[in-house]
Structure 1
Amino acid sequence: MRDLILAMVKPLVDYPDHVEVETEEGASTITYKLSVHSEDMGKVIGKQGRVAKSIRTVVYAAAGSKQQKKIFLEIVE
């Protein structure tokens, strides 16, 4: 799942080397924390959050059938 997130986000940003994904796994959840360069934050979020929503939709669809845990994607500074 980490590779999928990286594959979607890196082409969108100006600083692909600063894209990082951390994974936190709980008892019933998996949280992916996406961090990008501060100048790229707007590109990843998009107008009215459309890009972020699209990334989340793809991640949730890809992981939903494979995992028995709830999946979350957070975009952090």
Structure 2
Amino acid sequence: MKALIKSIVTSLVDYPDDIVIKETEEDSKVTYHLTVHPDDVGKVIGKNGRIAKAIRTVVYAANTGGNKRIFLDIM
């Protein structure tokens, strides 16, 4: 899942080396914390959060199998 998130976000940002994805796993959920360069935050979030919503939709749809919910936190 980290590779999917990184591949999507890399094409959007100007500083792909500053992408950091951390994974936190709990009983019934997995949370991915995405951090990008401060200049790229707006590009990842998009107007009215449209790009962030689209990224989350793709990540949630890619969750095949497993009984844990996936969350994406963009910082």
TM-score (norm 1): 0.95
Where does structure 1 lack aligned partners over 5 or more consecutive residues?
none
1:67 to partner: Cα distance = 2.2
Where does structure 2 lack aligned partners over 5 or more consecutive residues?
none
Structure 1 residue ranges (4+ consecutive) displaced by more than 4 angstroms after TM superposition: none
SS in 2 for 1:12: coil
Q: CA RMSD in A?
A: 0.6
What number of residue pairs does the alignment pair up? 75
SS in 1 for 2:32: strand
Q: Which has the higher helix share?
A: 1
TM-score (norm 2): 0.97
**What is the one-letter code of the residue matched to 2:29?**
T
SS in 1 for 2:22: strand
